[in-house]
Each structure stands twice: as C-alpha cells, then as structure tokens.
Amino acid sequence: MRNFRDEAIDDFCLAGINRASCSREGDQITSPDHAYTFAYGAVFSHQVEREPLTNQLIANVTFSNYPCTGDRQPRCDETFDFRFPGLRFDAAHQIFFARVGRNEWIPVAECRPNLPYSGYALASGAKIFLLKRSGRVTAVLSASSRPRDGARWVQNDNNLSLQNLLTGYFAVFCP
C-alpha cells in the first residue's frame, strides 16, 4: 500500500521530468513495461537496442543486489527490457526519432558502428529515467531538441538519499 510520502516523491520526480522535457522542444514516453526487482539494489548495467522484429527501441537494464551482498546473501543480477512504443525508426540511417509537436521529429538514439559489434547510443538530448518505488521500476524516456548535460541514465529510488534529492532538484530547476 502506498503512503502519502511515496506519492509526494513520485509527483516531485515526475514534475521534474516533465519540467525538463515536456516543453515545446521535448517529449517523454513512459514504457508500458514494469519490472519488480530488489528494493535496495542498484543498476549494474544498461544499454539501448533495437528489437529486430518490431523495430522498437528497448532499454535493457540489469539490476543487482550488490550494494547489500555479504556472507549470508550472495550477489544476484536480474535483467529486464523496457519498450518505448511510438518512436519512428529510420532504417536507412539507423536512427530512432520521437515526435514533438505536429510534424517535428527529434533524434533519440542512433547506431554507433564499432568493430566488431555495433550498438545504439542515446542522442545528446535524450535521457532515460529509471524510477524505482519499493522494487517496482518504471522507465521514462525523455527527449529534447536541445543538447543536455549530465548522465543519460538517471536512477531514482523512493528513499530520501542525497542522490535522489539532487536528481529531483536539478531536474526541476535546471532544465
């Protein structure tokens, strides 16, 4: 059962994401997929990739309990995929675009050819927010036509840590 504090933190974080990305120059897409993982775990690895059958952008995220491991509890990793529907994929240039306004499309992710493997990377105006509430994870893709500073992947838990307070503060007051 959710309490008032959890709802207030959710509202604060989502307001920050909205303020940072949902102006006339940006958009946000919430993944319909949710994951349930370690309440006190952390993101161990992440990447974006293209689902070859549907041409959808997928955030592949691995969560780990490594911050809480010890003699009695071994390390355990869990990997989840979060889809972001509604993006347009340009197969010729290997770029995903998000729609902003009526007919404006901005790049969200593009293929970076690296030998021997190529992979997708988020564009300079895109960020993925991983909102974790008592182990339930929601992924939000935020896209802007303006380049953004800072990390492209932001994890926010429902605890009142300094990291989460600063994440919320800078998302709200420094778009």
Residue 64 and residue 25: Cα distance in Å, rounded? 35
pLDDT band at 148 (very low <50, low <70, confident <90, very high): confident
The pLDDT confidence band at residue 18, using thresholds 50, 70 and 90, is very low
Q: What is the mean pLDDT of residues 85-101?
A: 92
Backbone φ and ψ for 166, nearest 5 degrees, come out as -70, -40
How far is 126 from 122, CA to CA, in rounded Å? Answer: 6
Confidence (pTM): 0.75
Instruction: Map residue 59 onto helix, strand or coil.
Output: strand
Query: Two tokens at 31?
Result: 């993944």
Task: Give residue 127's pLDDT band: very low, low, confident or very high (50, 70, 90).
Answer: very high
Domain boundaries, the chain: 4-173
Mean of the pLDDT values across residues 24-48? 84
pLDDT tens digits for range 45-82 = 999 999 999 999 999 999 988 877 777 888 889 999 99
Buried-exposed string 46-66: b where 16+ CB fall within 10 A, e elsewhere: bebebeeeeebbbbebebbbe
Average pLDDT over residues 25-46: 85
